[in-house]
Amino acid sequence: MISKKEANYLEPFQARSIIEQLRKGSVPVEYVQLFSVGRENWMFFIKEDLDFYIGKGGSKVRFISGDYGDGKTHFMSMIRKIALENEFAVSFVVLTREVPIHKFETVYKSIVKQLQSNSKRIGIRAILEEWLCTLVEKNNNGHEEETLKNRTVLLEEFRNIAGMDINFVNALIALVNNRFVSESEDEEQEKEINHETLLHWFEGGKVTKRELKPFQIYDYLNKANSKQFMNSLILFLRYIGHKGLILLMDEMETVMAQSASIRNAAYENIRLLIDNSESSQYLHIFFSIIPDV
């Protein structure tokens, strides 16, 4: 329900956008708070958690339980909006047959693909590109104290971040070097290929060890190193100005339609995510489920 006071602040285009989304049967994400009634206490506790626990280094997991149509997705959309407004990075992942929870690598790829910053950039690729553009801008502005750091200094800076995986560190440095090191016209194509290879690695894609060796990267995403990848991702997000990561996993009940072996694998991965949260900082994971789960 939208109050008269709130409606008076809407521009005609905004009002029309809301109408068109409602016509399609969904609430527009950017105006989700205008359609929420009676959940003020819940949202107060969520915001308090973000401000005084997660943002200070805490970590936890919550399960949002409700029957079909109870508004779980709507509630998670509200959490996303509050988190973004409070300078957290957010990833909202809908678990489907294409993104099954029992395939962790696929889920991780979806997490980084749906990663959203407070600048409204979506995807780790876009966030990394924005970070590089910021470095370019600082360099071009000629601020002596903000000029691009050389590889040795940058390496030392990242090494001082406790817990950041060395492969993640080297990938960031390689990405910066690739962007700023001058290349001849003949080498420009190779530079673009290397840039794409590094971004693909950050997205959790499979890259050969031969392709990674020049960047001193010796591992790519797998279930065994997922904890290090997740921790490093959070540390990088904090490095570029976010308070932490809020991970929203919607429609986990899709596992109920799978075979027993797949369900067991799915629950094992959920346990893995919970373990990750227990050994991480600045991380809040939400799962939406139906009571039967």
Q: What is the pLDDT of residue 127?
A: 94
Mean pLDDT of the chain: 81
64 Cβ contact list (under 8 Å, min separation 6): 72, 75, 76, 286, 287, 288, 289
In this prediction, residue 234 has a pLDDT band, given cuts at 50, 70 and 90, of very high
- Reported as a pLDDT band with limits 50, 70 and 90, residue 198 is very high
**Band of pLDDT at residue 3, cut at 50, 70 and 90:** very low
- The predicted pLDDT at position 146 comes to 47
Q: Is the pLDDT of residue 31 over 90?
A: no
Higher pLDDT, 186 or 254: 254
Residue 189: the pLDDT is: 81
In the predicted structure, residue 101 carries a pLDDT above the cut 90:
no
> Mean pLDDT, to the nearest integer, of 151-177?
82
The better pLDDT of the pair 279, 270 is held by: 270
Q: Could you tell me where the beta strands, DSSP code E, fall in the chain?
A: 59-65, 89-94, 115-116, 245-250, 283-289
Average pLDDT value for residue range 173-200: 82
Distance CA 89, CA 122 (A): 10
3-state secondary structure of 243: coil
Residue 293 has pLDDT above 50, yes or no: yes
As a residue count, the chain comes to 293
Instruction: Give residue 1's pLDDT band: very low, low, confident or very high (50, 70, 90).
Output: very low
Q: Give CA–CA dist 86/97, Å, rounded.
A: 32
Q: What is the pLDDT of residue 289?
A: 85
Residue 54 pLDDT: 94
Mean pLDDT of the region 110-137: 88
The answer to whether the beta carbons of residues 118 and 243 sit under 8 Å apart is no
Confidence band of 245 (pLDDT split at 50, 70, 90): very high
3-state secondary structure of 251: coil
pLDDT top residue among 202 and 119: 202
Q: What is the pTM of this model?
A: 0.80
**Dihedral of the CA atoms 225, 175, 196, 104 (nearest 10)?**
20
